[in-house]
Chains A and B, each alone.
Chain A
C-alpha cells in the first residue's frame, strides 16, 4: 500500500506534469522507492491517482527495466553485464557475488538483504567492471573488493 507521503509525492509530480499520462513513469518510480518494487496493489493505486487503468499502467511498468514488479531485497545490486564489463571481468564478479551471497542474478538472498540483478551498460566502461548498489556506483570492482563494498549495506 502506498503511504500518504508517497501519494503526496505522486500528486506533486502530477501537479507540474503536462498531462497525467506523462507522469506515469515518474509516478511508478516514486511508488517503487517505498519498498524497491511495485506490488499489484500499489500499481492499482498509482493508476487511480493518474486516472489510468491498471492495465495501462502495467503495460508501461512491465516495459521498462528499472520498474520492478516482483519483490526485491533491502538493497539491489545492479551488475553491469554489457560488453566492456564483460571484457574486463564481469564473469569473475558475478562468480564473486554468487560465492559471497549465494545468489545468482535474479535472486534475493534468503535474509532479504540483497537482490542481484543484471543491468545493461552502466556507462562507466572506462572503469569496468562496475556495479551499482542502490544509488551508489562502484567502479573497477573485483572479487576482492566485493567483501568491503557489500559490508556497507546492512
Chain B
C-alpha cells in the first residue's frame, strides 16, 4: 500500500495502480480520455498530465502522464500546479479545435465526457480561428449512429472494438489530424458487442441509434437499477423511460457481473416494452381467437370464481418470469399443480444444471472470475450466441497467462500499450469443442468440431485423464484421445482453470462431461470453475423452484381432470410444436394467460391479464452464476399492467385463498420464498428492503435536472398529479428525495458533480474498476462445499457419434439476434437476425446436391420444415444445424435425427 504525496498531502493507495487510477480512486478529479478502466493506458491523449517531483526539494518538477506512471511509494505529484493545469487546458483546446461544438443537437449532450472534461479543465474560449476539419459519416447498421466530426481521436473505440471485443471490421484509418475511425465501407458492425461503443466513446461519435428514434436527454430519463432479461447471464442495466416509453438501455456497472459492458441483444432488445404487441388492459375471449378488453374489477371475480369452483387448476410457470411470479403461481395452484413451463427435455437439463452446480466441488464463477481464468475449456456452447456477455469475459481470459510473463518484465497490467507489444499474438490456453465454428474460435488454442455425443466423450476423457476415478471413455479414437491429453495437461497446469458448458445442444451428456472435468480439476488447493449457461433470464430461478414438465401439464389437462390452466409469461408455441400445444390448450376449459406481450398463446386465452415487463415492475431473477438479482421498477405502467405476482395475488384473493392484504409488497413475498425454499434463503439480500431510507428520504428515480414535470401532462390536466407510490423499493418516482449519492445497489443513475457521463461510475467504486461501494449488488445463491476427494462423476458416457446414411443429427444453433423471443420484437435486433435456414457441412450439401441458398426439406419425425440451405465449412459430416427460436420457425425437439432432401419442385 504505497503512500503518495499529492500537492504535499500524503495518501495511501492500493498496490499496482497507475497515478490516474490512484487519484481517481482517492476521489480526485483528474481529466482523461484515452485511458479506460477496462482498456488500460496507452498515453495517447495527454489529458491526464500531472506534475511529478523527484523529492521534496524538487520545486521545478516535470510533467508526466498520470495514466502512464506507476503510483509507487513516495511518488510526489501536483494536480494543481499552474503549469500542468495550463497544459491540461491546452489539451482540451487542441481537442476542441475541430470539434463541432454541436452539443445542443448532439445525442451525447448532458452526458458527454468531453463536456465534463472541458469544464473540469476550465477551457472556455477558443483561440483557434481556422477552418475545422470535417469527415463523412458511415452507416454502421441499426444500432450505432456515426458522427465523426465529433471525434477527439482518443483511440478508445478501436481499442475496445478490436483489442477488447475481438471485432475486426472496424479500424483506425488515415493519419495525422485526419485520423478516422470506422469501417472500410458502410455496413452494419459485425461485433455482437458494438453497442458498447456508445459508452466507450467519450463524446458523441457513436450514439444509440434506437434511442434516436425517440430521443430523450439523459437528465429527463426516469431510471432504476435493473437486470437484462434477454439471456441467463444477468447483466445489470439501467433502463431509461420518459412519457411512458422505454427510451434506451445503458450498461449498469456491476464489478462481479458485467463490469462496463453489455451485448447488443441486451442493449437493443428493449423495444418489446414499447411495442405494438403489448396489451395493457385485462381482456377476455369474445369469440375464438379474439380478445376484447374487460374491466379488471369484472375479470378478477370471474376468474376468482372459476378458481374457487373446485375444478382442478394447474399453473404453467416460465423461465422468463421472476422468481416471485413463479412462486406466486405455484402457491396459488399448489406444488402438485405447478409445471415449469418447458418440455421434459428442457426441464431435465435445467434440473441437471442446478444439480451439478449445487453439488460441486467445482464452483460457479462470476463473470469477473471468468475473465481471470488462466485456462478455459468450452464444451458444446457457442457462447457469443448463447450467453454473449460471458463470451466477452472469456475473451479477456486468454491474456492472463501471457500477462504473467509481461509482469516478469516489469510491465504492469494497466499499461495496455506495452502489454500489447510484449504479448503480440500470444494467447493463454482456450479450448472449444462445439459442432460448428464459434465466434470465439479466433482466440482458441484448439477447436474440436463434433456431434454432441463426441463432445461429451471428449469431456469425459479429459476428466478421466485428470482423475482416474472418473470413468474411462471406451473406444476413443486416437486423435480425440491426444486432444484430451493436451487439454487435460493444460488445465491441470493452470491456477484458475474454468470449464464452460450449457444446455444449448440439448445434451445431458455434455453437461455432465463438463462437470466431470471441472470436478476432476478441483483439489484442496485449487478450485476449478464450472459455468453452465442458462437460456433465459430466470432459468435457474425457475429451476430452483422445480415443477413438472409441459408434457405432464398436458396430461394433467387431458387425462388428469384439470380444467383450468393459468399460464405465466410463456408463449407455449415457442416451447413445443403447435400440434402438442393445440392439444394442451384445447384440453383446458379455461385458459388464463398472464403476460405482457400478445403472442400466439394469447390467441387461445380465455382471459388475458397484462403483466408488467421488467421495466414496469419488481422481481428477482437468478442468473446462470446462481446470483439472485432484483429488477426495480423503472416507471409506472398505464392501464391494468402490474407484476404477474400481483395478478396472482389478486386472483388468489378473488378466489378466497388468502386475504386481500396478502403480499403487500415484494419484501413479503420474497420472505415467503426464502421460508419455503431453503436454497433461496439468500434472495432476501438481493436488494435492500422497501423500507430502506437515507436520512428518512427515499431515492429519486429522476435527476435533479428532470425537466417538464409540471408541463408534460398539462394537455391532460394542469394540476400536477401526485407521485405514484412504490411499495416495493426505496425509490421514488420523483426528482425529490435523498440528494446525495445513493448506495450503489439503489442508485437509479450514477452521477457526481462534474461527472455527467457514464464515467461517473468512478465515484461509486471502492477502487477504480473494482467493486461498487457497499458491495456489488446481487447475492450468490449457489455455493457448493469444497470437499476434496468427494468429486462424483454422474452421467453415462454416450456412444461415439455414428453418421446414419440419409439422416442428419440436427442440433440447435443459437443466434444472439434471433433466438431470443423478446429482443426479436425490437426492429433493430430483428434486422440483424438470420433468415430461417438449415446449416449443412460442405460435404453433406454436395452429397445432397444442395447449394447455398437453395431450398431444402427437413423431416424430423414427420415434422417437415422448408428451409434455405446455409453451407457451414466447420460443421462435421452428418450433423446439421437448425436455428433455435427464430420467429417463423416451428419449434422442434432437437437434437434429433432428421432427413434432409432437396425441396420438391425447387
Contacts and interface: CB of A to CB of B under 8 A. Distances in A.
Interface stretch (B170-178, B447-455, B459-467): B170-178
Nearest to A60: B171
A59 B185 contact: no
Contact of A55 (B169, B174, B175): B169
Interface in B143-168: 168
Given A43-B184, A53-B184, A54-B185, A59 B172 contact: yes
Contacts of A44: 184
A7 B82 CA distance: 59
Interface size class of chain B, counting residues whose CB lies under 8 Å from the partner chain: 10 to 19
A56 interface: yes
A62 interface: yes
State the majority secondary structure of interface residues on A: helix
B185 A62 contact: no
Contacts of B174: 62-63
B496 to A, nearest CB: 31
B183 interface: yes
In this complex, the member of B169, B171, B180, B185 whose beta carbon has the largest number of chain A beta carbons within 10 angstroms is B171
Given A40-B185, A43-B184, A58-B184, A53 B168 contact: yes
Contacts of B170: 55
Nearest to B175: A63
A33 B175 CA distance: 23
B151 to A, nearest CB: 15
A62 B169 contact: no
A22 to B, nearest CB: 12
Nearest to A64: B175
Contacts of A64: 175
Interface string A45-71: 000000011111111001110000000
A43 B180 CA distance: 18
Contacts of A62: 173-175, 180
A56 B175 contact: no
Given A40-B185, A43-B184, A56 B173 contact: no
Contacts of B175: 62-64
In this complex, the member of A40, A54, A57, A62 whose beta carbon has the largest number of chain B beta carbons within 10 angstroms is A62
Contact of B183 (A43, A52, A55): A55
B100 to A, nearest CB: 22
Interface in B191-244: none
Interface size class of chain A, counting residues whose CB lies under 8 Å from the partner chain: 10 to 19
A107 to B, nearest CB: 19
B420 to A, nearest CB: 14
Nearest to A19: B425
Contacts of A63: 173-175
Contacts of A55: 168-171, 183-184
A63 B178 CA distance: 10
A53 B173 contact: no
A58 B173 contact: yes
A56 to B, nearest CB: 5
Nearest to B176: A63
Contact of B173 (A40, A52, A59): A59
Contacts of A40: 184-185
Nearest to A54: B184
B185 A56 contact: no
Contacts of A52: 168
A58 B174 CA distance: 8
Nearest to B182: A55
A68 to B, nearest CB: 13
A46 B215 CA distance: 42
Interface string B298-331: 0000000000000000000000000000000000
Nearest to B170: A55
Nearest to B178: A62
A64 B173 CA distance: 10
Contacts of A43: 184
Contacts of A57: 184
Nearest to B162: A56
A95 B158 CA distance: 42
Contacts of B169: 53, 55
Contacts of B184: 40, 43-44, 53-55, 57-58
Interface string A125-140: 0000000000000000
A64 B176 CA distance: 10
Nearest to A57: B184
A41 to B, nearest CB: 11
Contacts of A58: 171, 173, 184
In this complex, the member of B168, B170, B174, B184 whose beta carbon has the largest number of chain A beta carbons within 10 angstroms is B184
A62 B172 CA distance: 9
A50 to B, nearest CB: 12
A36 B174 CA distance: 19
A85 to B, nearest CB: 21
A44 B185 CA distance: 11
A54 B186 CA distance: 12
Contacts of A56: 168, 171
A63 to B, nearest CB: 5
Nearest to A58: B184
A144 to B, nearest CB: 35
A147 B690 CA distance: 89
A52 B183 CA distance: 13
A61 to B, nearest CB: 9
Nearest to B181: A59
B148 to A, nearest CB: 14
Interface in A93-114: none
In this complex, the member of A43, A44, A54 whose beta carbon has the largest number of chain B beta carbons within 10 angstroms is A54
In this complex, the member of A44, A57, A58, A64 whose beta carbon has the largest number of chain B beta carbons within 10 angstroms is A58
A58 B180 CA distance: 11
A65 B168 CA distance: 24
Nearest to A63: B175
A134 B131 CA distance: 34
A53 to B, nearest CB: 5
A20 B183 CA distance: 21
A126 to B, nearest CB: 28
A48 to B, nearest CB: 12
Nearest to A53: B168
A63 B176 CA distance: 8
Contacts of B183: 55
A54 B173 CA distance: 11
Nearest to A47: B184
A51 B183 CA distance: 17
In this complex, the member of A44, A59, A64 whose beta carbon has the largest number of chain B beta carbons within 10 angstroms is A59
28 contacts: A40-B185, A43-B184, A44-B184, A52-B168, A53-B168, A53-B169, A53-B171, A53-B184, A54-B184, A54-B185, A55-B168, A55-B170, A55-B183, A55-B184, A56-B168, A57-B184, A58-B171, A58-B173, A58-B184, A59-B172, A59-B173, A62-B173, A62-B174, A62-B175, A62-B180, A63-B174, A63-B175, A64-B175
Interface of A: 40, 43-44, 52-59, 62-64
Given A40-B184, A55-B184, A59-B172, 13 more contacts: A52-B168, A53-B169, A53-B184, A54-B184, A54-B185, A55-B168, A55-B171, A55-B183, A56-B171, A57-B184, A58-B184, A59-B173, A62-B174
Closest 5 CB pairs of A and B: A59-B171, A54-B184, A55-B184, A58-B184, A53-B168
